[in-house]
């Protein structure tokens, strides 16, 4: 999307082509400015000062201060900075100025106009020999030069022809070609979308041009590729349109997420508020609200799309609801909130609604106080769950909510809401709420549908192309290979494609579509995924499991499947252009769908130029794709299988249509299934400014396809592609009936400039307004409704007329194919149940925040539970007293290491020196832990606890194990003794005595030690034994466990777990130590080995 920048920013980006300047803001320290820019105080320096607030015609409005010193400029700035002024009907604040050297010149003979702008075919340069404030009608008088886009990204040399012939100054005329060429290089390098210099003057002393005034727009999608050249960039709001804190917050939120979020406040005290999903749908809703005479009551324009997360939609909804319930905006008659949208292709309606519902619950009381009525209409993946949750939140909170699904016309909730206001118009408005479809596909069996009276009436009235028993796609358009001539047929029921990117969900949905269309082969031949080795991946084709090839390169895919001619490019916006350029190097690729949104416009046009030269059809970018019933769907086009069935997209209809919006493509399929025999082919060319193909190109394909009987176009505000259709209808190039509507008729009714959901949806001229386009289409002979609300009626009238004339033959509806339901989808709908594969009761990562045993991770950190607290939650599933946390942490510290000589550390060191990785080295050390090394904790606890519970005395306990010839675990040390105690044991013993409520088993173990050390002074209670018995005392004495629970934890190995966890710290330390020392391969000293071999081989 092209966004305006300040004049100072534009001149900075032009580098040495522009004179030096200073940008002054409201926080600027005027006294410090000359220190940074000493040229301001040069002798004789005269300056010019202008407001830099995206305001045109500043000179005509007397807002420019000329020929002043820095001191005079400073006084002027202090006077004007922060002041509010109304200019040409716009009231705004002067919060930025630009200061630059004053250049005296003759404004009659030394002022030229030059502008550059991006258009679909290239970059257009406009030049007027006479510029300045009286430049007049630039479009009418400017000389224009079109510079084709170089598909390799190079800056082409411009052929100017007679562009500068009217320049009278010979020196200026001679210098202009080089200056404009250099200017154009900066235009390309910085991804300008528009650059206007008015005027420029020629400095005869220096032999160079001086840029006096500049206005510019940058393609903000190029921010990632222009980071180094742009530097710190700002896209300010237009003059008179300062962003509110809510709008600014949504802009910032939009920049942090891959989804699209828009919010413009039109009337903060308005009655009608919207929260619409989808760029195209959001404009349609705004249009319809205005069509019902409520432009002055429309409070906001906004949209969310691109599968935003639950957290994102919550923040978005919370912001809108805070505005609805803002102080000072109460309306006695109440307010209306429309939560609407088209039928989603891939966004989970339930997931996005969860965020909205959370916000609704939070604002429930305020919404009721403000008498807010909520109307919901949505369709798409998981919409049943989403609508159910919306109904439930209405019942739970008492908010007045009415909920509708895709069986309702997309904008019907608007008249429904207005009819609920009552009054004389209520009955008239109610007619728009009629539901044209009986029930949705998933809710009813086939036999129930066939008995439904409404179903029979509709099917009797609708003509269908396919005869009973015909396989969908077996019409003339569905046989044989695709024709890539002038009357190109993009897809047949034999067409196959590659999918770039591991888009498993999209691929499965394509295969499901193939199955219901009765295709013999899946439409996807292979998946290209560069980050994996080639392999096979399972999918379902109907009820049969198949294995799809996944390859690393497009070259490998083309070699394996030479018949494939289509690539569906799911690469991200950062790499989609490179993948597309790569695809164009393979002659077999004739169709390319580019899904990504936000590709820099210059790179998009480079791909488009290369595609046109090679005869490749591009759908996109910023598109969901397209669909040809009975033949092929691109990616997620058409949404879930339910919508495919409801819209009868499993067989061809008679209507070919084209739109920019992917969401509206789904909606139009829905409408066509209700009012005609349905879609023959539908294409969403993409919402970016420069789609790879135009609407006209697709309409011409439909014109030449005998199977298309009528056409439909859904255009929008901005651009001029619809006028190509106007000329084609007027010249009889298009002779088939065209139903057309351009959305965005609301734009002129808004008091401020609105950034609509699509990048290309903004009008740069009067002719680009939607109203002007609709009028031109109507005058040319297209069938244009009075509003989008009437679009379905107009389509139905044209369709019925063609049926009556015999152009469309009425045929009965073929039986709908049976569809195996995906298990996961059936599970979401509550139709099946299945035992869980395994159960987890300690943690949950599914929500907004990680949860440990019911404790959100933020609470764990806030309460400073530490590692001991985390162990208590994940091992014992409950919080424990603070002394338990400190005890557990102390055990970890005491067991972390015991030097490099013990077997575990030795193994870790040897493995590390063999060049193995950290995990391998750690595991070799851990595998030594057992009864003989470190693993005595559990057995010591079990032995001592059993003896104490049985009532044995220490002497009896020792004698019983001696009689069984068994070792007492936790007793004895190789080095330490009564006279050389283990400090670890001493420290742990002091802590437990000072903090534990009971130390019964510790005391028993110490009494046993008194017995064993009488025999030998090294038979002390060692650290393993003390950890074992102290752990039992902690479990039994902290008050959080029953005795049986404590026994279960000990029997399950939790005490050894502490040793493993602690000693892992030391093993990792030894590994890192050896790597740091760069120690070589370890070989044991032969002198340290006793070689004892038998004498069998000796004579």
At residue 203, the pLDDT reads 94
Task: Specify which residues 373 forms β-bridges with.
Answer: 336, 400
At residue 563, the pLDDT reads 96
Q: What is the pLDDT of residues 814-872, one digit of tens each?
A: 887 777 777 776 776 667 777 778 889 999 998 889 999 999 999 999 999 999 999 99
If you write DSSP's letter for every residue of 891-915 in order, what string do you get?
HHHHHS---SSSHHHHHHHHHHHTT
If you write DSSP's letter for every residue of 454-522 in order, what string do you get?
HHHHHHHH---SSPTTPPTT-SGGGSSSPP-STT-----TT--EEEES--HHHHHHHHHHHHHTT-SS-
Q: How far apart are CA 792 and CA 655, in angstroms?
A: 13
Give residue 425's pLDDT band: very low, low, confident or very high (50, 70, 90): low
Of 45-59, 461-475, 668-682, 919-933, which gets the smallest average pLDDT?
461-475
* Average pLDDT rounded to a whole number, residues 524-532: 95
* Average pLDDT rounded to a whole number, residues 999-1012: 95
Provide, rounded to the nearest whole percent, the portion of the chain with pLDDT above 70.
92
At residue 641, the pLDDT reads 85
Average pLDDT, the chain: 88
Give residue 430's pLDDT band: very low, low, confident or very high (50, 70, 90): low
Q: What is the pLDDT of residues 883-923, one digit of tens each?
A: 999 999 999 999 999 999 999 999 999 999 999 999 999 99
* Average pLDDT rounded to a whole number, residues 985-998: 94
Q: What is the pLDDT of residues 479-506, one digit of tens each?
A: 333 333 356 789 999 999 999 999 999 9
Q: How far apart are CA 568 and CA 737, in angstroms?
A: 31
Per the model's pLDDT, the better-predicted residue between 931 and 559 turns out to be 559
Of 227-236, 240-249, 382-391, 1006-1015, which gets the smallest average pLDDT?
240-249
Please check whether residue 673 is in contact with residue 343, taking contact to mean a CB–CB distance below 8 angstroms. Answer: no
Bond from prior residue into 199 cis (ω within 30 degrees of 0):
yes
Which tokens go with 1013? 């050390």
At residue 688, the pLDDT reads 87
At residue 364, the pLDDT reads 96
pLDDT at residue 444 tops 70: no
Question: ∠ CA(141), CA(146), CA(152), 5° rounding?
Answer: 160
Task: Specify which residues 1021 forms β-bridges with.
Answer: 971
pLDDT at residue 606 tops 70: yes
pLDDT at residue 945 tops 50: yes
Please check whether residue 23 is in contact with residue 6, taking contact to mean a CB–CB distance below 8 angstroms. Answer: yes
Q: What is the pLDDT of residues 661-720, one digit of tens each?
A: 888 898 999 999 999 999 999 999 998 889 999 999 999 999 999 999 999 999 988 778
Give residue 432's pLDDT band: very low, low, confident or very high (50, 70, 90): low
Residue 207, classified by CB atoms within 10 Å of its CB into exposed (0-12), middle (13-18) or buried (19+), is: exposed
pLDDT at residue 428 tops 60: no
Residue with tokens 């809703």: 285
Provide, rounded to the nearest whole percent, the portion of the chain with pLDDT above 90.
70
At residue 1007, the pLDDT reads 96
* Average pLDDT rounded to a whole number, residues 514-540: 94
At residue 196, the pLDDT reads 95
CA-nearest of 818, 783, 806 to 654 is: 806
At residue 482, the pLDDT reads 38
At residue 446, the pLDDT reads 35
Please check whether residue 539 is in contact with residue 532, taking contact to mean a CB–CB distance below 8 angstroms. Answer: no
pLDDT at residue 471 tops 70: no
Give residue 1063's pLDDT band: very low, low, confident or very high (50, 70, 90): very high
In 10 A of CB 161, how many CB atoms?
9
Q: How far apart are CA 207 and CA 204, in angstroms?
A: 5
At residue 487, the pLDDT reads 64
* DSSP 8-state code for residue 930: B
Which tokens go with 186? 């900066």
If you write DSSP's letter for every residue of 1016-1066 in order, what string do you get?
-TT--B-HHHHHHHHHHHHHHHSSSS-HHHHHHHHHTTHHHHHHHHHHHHH
Q: What is the pLDDT of residues 257-283, one digit of tens each?
A: 778 899 999 999 999 999 999 888 999
Give residue 460's pLDDT band: very low, low, confident or very high (50, 70, 90): very low
Per the model's pLDDT, the better-predicted residue between 302 and 918 turns out to be 918
Q: Which of 758, 796, 973, 1070 is catalytic?
A: 758
Q: How far apart are CA 498 and CA 633, in angstroms?
A: 12
Question: Is beta strand 192-203 parallel, antiparallel or unpaired with respect to 214-219?
Answer: antiparallel
Distance of CA 546 to CAs 62, 493, 523, 558, 566, Å? Answer: 74, 19, 13, 20, 21
Of 164-173, 201-210, 767-776, which gets the smallest average pLDDT?
767-776
Q: How far apart are CA 285 and CA 276, in angstroms?
A: 8
Active site residue 906: no
Instruction: Provide the whole-model pTM.
Output: 0.74
At residue 239, the pLDDT reads 83
pLDDT at residue 757 tops 50: no
Q: How far apart are CA 328 and CA 891, in angstroms?
A: 61
At residue 347, the pLDDT reads 85
Strand runs (DSSP E) across 625-774, as ranges? 626-628, 632-633, 655-659, 679-684, 710-716, 738-743
CA-nearest of 285, 352, 287 to 317 is: 352
Question: ∠ CA(299), CA(305), CA(309), 5° rounding?
Answer: 110
């Amino acid at each position: 999307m092209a966004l305006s920048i300040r004049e100072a920013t534009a001149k900075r980006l032009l580098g040495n082509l522009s004179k030096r300047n200073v940008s002054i803001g409201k926080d600027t320290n005027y006294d410090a400015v000359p220190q940074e820019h000493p040229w301001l105080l040069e002798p004789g320096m005269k300056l010019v000062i202008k407001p830099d607030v995206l305001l045109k015609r500043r000179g005509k409005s007397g807002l420019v201060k000329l020929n002043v010193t820095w001191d005079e400029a400073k006084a002027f700035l202090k006077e004007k900075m922060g002041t509010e002024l109304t200019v040409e009907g716009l009231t705004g604040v002067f919060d930025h100025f630009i200061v630059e050297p004053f250049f005296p010149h003759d404004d009659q003979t030394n002022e030229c106009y030059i502008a550059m702008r991006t258009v679909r075919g290239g970059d257009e340069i406009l030049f007027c020999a006479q510029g300045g404030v009286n430049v007049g009608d630039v479009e009418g008088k400017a000389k224009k030069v079109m510079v084709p886009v170089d598909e390799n990204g190079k800056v082409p040399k411009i052929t100017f022809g007679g562009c500068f012939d009217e320049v009278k100054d010979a020196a200026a005329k001679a210098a202009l070609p080089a200056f404009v060429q250099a200017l154009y290089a900066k235009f390309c390098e910085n991804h300008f979308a528009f650059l206007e210099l008015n005027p420029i003057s020629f400095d005869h002393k220096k032999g160079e041009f001086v840029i006096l005034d500049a206005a510019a727009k940058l393609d903000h999608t190029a921010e990632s590729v222009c980071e180094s050249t742009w530097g710190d960039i700002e896209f300010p709001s237009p003059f008179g349109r300062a962003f509110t804190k809510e709008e600014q917050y949504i802009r910032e939120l939009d920049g942090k997420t891959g989804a699209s979020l828009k919010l413009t406040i039109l009337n903060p005290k308005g009655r009608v508020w919207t929260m619409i999903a989808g760029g195209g749908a959001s404009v349609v809703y705004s249009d319809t609200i205005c069509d019902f005479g409520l432009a002055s009551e429309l409070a906001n324009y906004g949209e969310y799309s691109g599968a935003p997360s639950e957290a994102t939609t919550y923040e978005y909804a919370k912001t809108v609801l805070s505005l609805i319930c803002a102080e000072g905006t109460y309306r006695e008659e109440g307010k209306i909130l429309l939560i609407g949208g088209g039928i989603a292709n891939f966004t989970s309606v339930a997931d996005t609604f969860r965020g909205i519902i959370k916000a609704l619950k939070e604002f429930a009381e305020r919404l009721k106080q403000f008498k807010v009525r909520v109307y919901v209409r949505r369709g798409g993946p998981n919409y049943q769950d989403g609508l159910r949750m919306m109904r439930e939140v209405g019942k739970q909170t008492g908010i007045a909510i009415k909920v509708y699904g895709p069986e309702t016309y997309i904008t019907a909730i608007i008249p429904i809401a207005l009819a609920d206001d009552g009054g004389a118009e209520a009955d008239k408005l109610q007619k728009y709420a009629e539901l044209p479809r009986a029930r949705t596909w998933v809710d009813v069996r086939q036999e129930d549908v066939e008995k439904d009276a409404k179903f029979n009436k509709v099917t009797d009235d609708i003509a269908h192309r396919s005869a009973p028993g015909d396989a969908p796609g077996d019409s003339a358009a569905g046989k044989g290979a695709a024709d890539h001539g002038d009357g190109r047929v993009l897809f047949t029921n034999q067409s196959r494609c590659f999918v770039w990117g591991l888009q498993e969900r999209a691929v499965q949905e394509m295969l499901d579509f193939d199955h219901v269309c009765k295709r013999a082969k899946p439409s996807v031949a292979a998946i290209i995924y560069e980050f994996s080795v080639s392999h096979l991946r399972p999918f379902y084709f109907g009820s049969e499991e198949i294995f799809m090839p996944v390859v690393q390169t497009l070259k490998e895919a083309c070699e394996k499947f030479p018949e494939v001619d289509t690539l569906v490019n799911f690469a991200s916006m950062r790499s989609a252009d490179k993948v597309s350029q790569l695809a164009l190097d393979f002659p077999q690729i004739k169709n390319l769908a580019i899904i990504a949104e936000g590709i820099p416009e210059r790179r998009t046009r480079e791909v488009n130029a290369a595609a046109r030269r090679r005869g490749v059809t591009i759908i996109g970018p910023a598109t969901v794709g397209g669909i040809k019933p009975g033949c092929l769907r691109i990616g997620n086009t058409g949404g879930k299988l339910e919508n495919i069935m409801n819209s009868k997209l499993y067989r061809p209809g008679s209507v070919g249509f084209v739109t920019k919006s992917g969401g509206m493509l789904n909606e139009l399929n829905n409408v066509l299934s209700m009012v005609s025999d349905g879609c023959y082919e539908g294409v969403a060319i993409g919402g970016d400014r420069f789609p790879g193909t135009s609407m006209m190109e697709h309409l011409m394909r439909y014109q030449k396809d005998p199977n298309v009987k009528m056409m439909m176009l859904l255009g929008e505000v901005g651009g001029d592609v619809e006028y190509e259709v106007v000329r084609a209808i007027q010249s009889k190039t298009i002779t088939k009936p065209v139903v057309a509507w351009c959305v965005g008729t609301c734009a002129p009714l808004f008091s401020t400039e609105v950034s609509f959901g699509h990048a290309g949806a903004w009008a740069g001229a009067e002719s680009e307004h939607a109203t002007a386009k609709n009028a031109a289409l109507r005058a040319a002979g297209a069938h244009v409704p009075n509003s989008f609300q009437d679009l379905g009626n107009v389509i139905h009238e044209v369709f019925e007329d063609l049926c009556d004339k015999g152009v469309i033959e009425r045929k009965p509806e073929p039986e709908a194919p049976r569809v195996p339901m995906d298990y996961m989808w059936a599970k979401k709908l509550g139709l099946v149940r299945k035992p869980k594969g395994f159960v987890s009761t300690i943690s949950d990562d599914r929500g907004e925040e990680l949860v440990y045993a019911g404790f959100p991770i933020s609470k764990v950190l806030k309460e400073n539970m530490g590692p001991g607290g985390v162990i208590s939650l994940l091992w014992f599933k409950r919080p424990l007293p603070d002394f338990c946390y400190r005890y557990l942490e102390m055990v970890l510290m005491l067991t972390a290491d015991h030097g490099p000589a013990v077997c575990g550390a030795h193994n870790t060191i040897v493995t590390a020196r063999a060049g193995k990785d950290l995990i391998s080295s750690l595991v070799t050390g851990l595998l030594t832990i057992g009864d003989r090394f470190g693993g005595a904790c559990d057995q010591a606890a079990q032995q001592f606890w059993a003896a104490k519970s049985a009532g044995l005395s220490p002497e009896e306990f020792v004698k019983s194990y001696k009689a069984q010839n068994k070792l007492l675990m936790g007793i004895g040390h190789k080095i330490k003794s009564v006279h050389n105690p283990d400090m670890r044991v001493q420290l742990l013993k002091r802590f437990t005595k000072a903090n534990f409520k009971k130390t019964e088993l510790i005391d028993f173990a110490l009494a046993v030690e008194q017995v064993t050390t009488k025999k030998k002074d090294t038979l002390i209670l060692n650290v393993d034994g003390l950890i074992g018995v102290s752990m039992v005392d902690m479990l039994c004495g902290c008050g959080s466990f029953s005795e049986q629970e404590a026994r279960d934890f000990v029997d399950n190995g939790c005490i050894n777990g502490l040793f493993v966890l602690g000693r892992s710290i030391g093993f990792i330390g030894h590994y890192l130590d050896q790597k740091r020392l760069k120690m070589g391969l370890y070989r044991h000293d032969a002198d340290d080995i006793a070689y004892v071999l038998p004498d069998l081989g000796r004579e």
